[in-house]
Structures are given as structure tokens and as C-alpha cells.
Amino acid sequence: MGPVLGVGGFLEARARSLQGNPRPTSPGRAGPVRSSVAAPDCCGGLGNLDFRKADLCIMTRLLGYVDLSEPHFVAAVLAIVFNPLFWNVVARWEHKTRKLSKAFGSPHLACYTLGGAILLLNVLRSHCFTQAMLSQPRMQSLDNPAVYHVGLALLGVGGVFVLSSFLALGFTGTFLGDYFGILKEARVTMFPFSVLDNPMYWGSTAIYLGWAIVHASPTGLLLTALVALIYMVAIVYEEPFTAEIYQQKASQAYKRS
């Protein structure tokens, strides 16, 4: 599900960005967290570039800026992991028991309720993501106009994928209506599904990546990597189950004919 960045969080983030303020420092601490172990020399000249070492170098550098035990960072990690777990567990429970549909008197009303809960959780996730970035240092190499505009472009592209996915699927199609027995007549193949599988998830990831780059935030980059990883796990978990739902529908239709 795509992130919904709160207006308050956006204004607070932009204010700090325009002021150029780094992370508020605690007593005895100034600037980014530095590892006591020197980062490996990953390059040694372009002719001797080892991409495995380059990846390690990048990750080591990012981690040098991030305090993994900082409360806002921990809250963001928990929100990122919890959201897909929540909607998958609840949707599968509903598909198996139909208890939400019975409780609300209608599968559509139950689906709307779950969708509203998911939207609220996504607002919370985006707030935690923003607060985690603001509470940690900025990376100077990302803090320039060219990189900033790359971040804006990613925000735009991600927003297009998320919004167009929602328009193509509708509310119930976006928020797991098939688990409530609200099935599409045919597979959606219009844009953005014509150019990308799971565009809602990857559009959301692009938004988080752009948001991190706009704030020159290594913490944001690390959290975006976690978002992408969790979405990949969700896709592996969701797609076979959804395919099974539609296979059952096709089998029932064949028997009736």
C-alpha cells in the first residue's frame, strides 16, 4: 500500500531541510555516528573495482550515519514490518471465516473498514519514517540541488504509479476485496499494470526513496531498502493465494456452466 505523507510531517521536514539543520546533537555527540572500524577501501581505482566490496562500502558508510537503537528509527522499522503483516493476516482470516463480513453485515462494508485501517496505518508508517530521518544526520554527498531534483522526480513517478493503480483497481480492488469475495471479472491490464507488476508496491517504494533523497537521509535510504524487502516478501506471500482465489472462481463458474 502506498504511503500517505501527513501535511504536518511534510511541513516540518521541509522546514528543517530549508534551514539546513543536521540532526539535533546530544551532549558529547556531534555529527554522524562513526564506526570505530575504518571503512574498507572498496575501489582502489576504477580498474580494480570489486562490486561486492563496493556494496559493502556503501552499506558501511550508510550505517555510519544511522543509530539503529534510536527510538524513532525503531518505531519506523516496526511500522514498516507490521503493516503488510497486519493486512495479510486479517485478509486471510476473513477469507477463511467471513467473520468480518458477518460482523459488518456486508463484505463491502467490511472491506471499506479494513481499507480505512490500512490507510491510517500507512499514515502512521510515513510519520515514523519522516521522524526517523529528522532525528538522524544528513549525508553531505546527497545534500545538493541535482540529487534533490532526482528525489523530486522519484516522488512524482511513485505518486503516478500509486494513484493510477488505485484508479485502475478501485477501492475494493486496492484493499484486498478479493479476500472478501469481491472479485474482478477479469485481470486488470491497463496502465500501470501494462508496464509493471505490483505498481502500487513499487510506486510506494519509489515515494519513500524520493523522500529519503530529498532529505539527504542515509536513514531514509536504509528504511527504504527495508520497505522494498518487506514488499518483496509480501508479493511472494500474496500472489499465489490471490491466484488460488481466482482459480476457485473459474472452477465454480465452469461447474455451473
Which residue positions form the known binding site? 156-158, 238-239
Q: Look up residue 176 and give its DSSP letter.
A: T
> Can you tell me the distance from the alpha carbon of 54 to that of 60, in angstroms, rounded to the nearest whole number?
10
Q: Known binding site for S-adenosyl-L-methionine: residues?
A: 156-158, 238-239
Q: Which helix (H) or strand (E) holds 249?
A: helix 218-256
Q: Please report, as a single letter, which amino acid is at residue 196.
A: L
- The string over 236-250, giving b where at least 16 C-beta atoms fall within 10 Å of a residue's C-beta and e elsewhere, is eebeeeeeeeeeeee
Closest CA to 6 of 128, 103, 135: 128
Q: Which helix (H) or strand (E) holds 199?
A: helix 199-214
> Can you tell me the distance from the alpha carbon of 174 to that of 170, in angstroms, rounded to the nearest whole number?
6
224: CB partners within 8 A, 6+ apart = 205, 208, 209, 212
> Can you tell me the distance from the alpha carbon of 239 to that of 223, in angstroms, rounded to the nearest whole number?
24
Is 148:214 a contact under the CB 8 Å cutoff?
Answer: yes
